[in-house]
Amino acid sequence: MDVFTTGLIVLFAMTAIGYIVLFSFIYYWHLVKISYVVVPAVFAFEYFVMGFFIISIVSIIIQYLPDLVRASGI
């Protein structure tokens, strides 16, 4: 399994954990008028986008690190 696939699986697991935490907070904040569909979807989308970019950048760095080290002559 390559690094990107592993990162994607970790990202999905962290998104599920994020949903669980967010729904638990929303449950405790039930006195505040808040949507149970829109707010978690927005937060999960932002979480997924941030995680995707972080995993993508780390994957690219790991993929090209040997080439960069060879090019630098270290």
Q: Which pair of tokens denotes residue 42?
A: 């927005």
Tell me what pLDDT residue 55 has.
79
pTM for this structure?
Answer: 0.45
pLDDT at 33: 61
Give helix 3-28 / helix 38-72 axis angle, nearest 10°. 150
pLDDT of residue 37: 65
Compute CA 64 distance to the chain's CA centroid, rounded to the nearest angstrom.
Answer: 22
Q: What is the pLDDT along the chain (74 residues), one digit of tens a residue?
A: 677 777 778 878 877 887 787 777 777 666 666 666 666 766 777 777 787 788 778 888 888 888 888 888 76
Give the Cα-Cα-Cα angle 28, 22, 35 (nearest 5 degrees).
Answer: 75
pLDDT at residue 36, rounded to an integer: 65
| Nearest residue to 39 (alpha-carbon basis) of 18, 55, 54, 53 | 18
